[in-house]
Amino acid sequence: MKKKLVLASGNQGKIREIQAMFSEYEVVGYKTLGFDFEIEENGSTFYENALIKAKTISDILKLPVIADDSGLCVDALDGAPGIYSARYAGDGDDEHNNQLLLKNLENKENRNASFVCCMVYYDGGKILSANGKTDGKILFEKQGENGFGYDPLFFSFDINKCFGLATAEEKNKVSHRFRAVSELKRIMKEEGLL
């Protein structure tokens, strides 16, 4: 029987992505274990927010937790939406976030952007972290229905197509989250946790 690894996310898309990458564990979303309150992410960096989530959940559930904080960083917007990516438009709605991003990029020539992810493992004592990044650009209009969040606007330089048109397998091979998880798994192996 696989050991449980709690993922500090209620986002089903993210849970599926992480489970596919972390097959050594049974990855479960924290809300399925009865943890049903929101955690205030008041850090100023992706790392701080990920650590806040991991520690809060692990301290209550007494299980190892991986938490990530990730977002879209757009060059022409000085790195925005950044740590505010999920709530960029204020209400957490993907469509509203995408509309605001397009509005804020009107008349901007440089549309280069990166998805950035910081992944933290915390088990009550040990803290491990890893980062991942994938580069691309923001399109002028949405393409495709795949993925979630900003995926329909993000053209990946790695796969030469929009994440909204990519299969889950195509995206997972190059995503910021995949790269962060791969690095975290490498560190966890070194620490004897895998």
Residues with Cβ within 8 Å of residue 92, at least 6 apart in sequence: 86
Cβ atoms 28, 66 nearer than 8 A = no
- Marked catalytic residue, from 36, 69, 94, 151: 69
Number of Cβ atoms within 10 Å of the Cβ of 181 = 24
Q: Where are the alpha helices (DSSP H) in the chain?
A: 12-21, 46-61, 94-104, 168-174, 176-190
Cα separation, 86 vs 71, in Å, equals 7
Closest-CA residue to 143 (of 153, 135, 133, 128): 153
Is 69 in the active site? yes
DSSP H or E segment with residue 68: strand 65-74
Catalytic positions are: 69
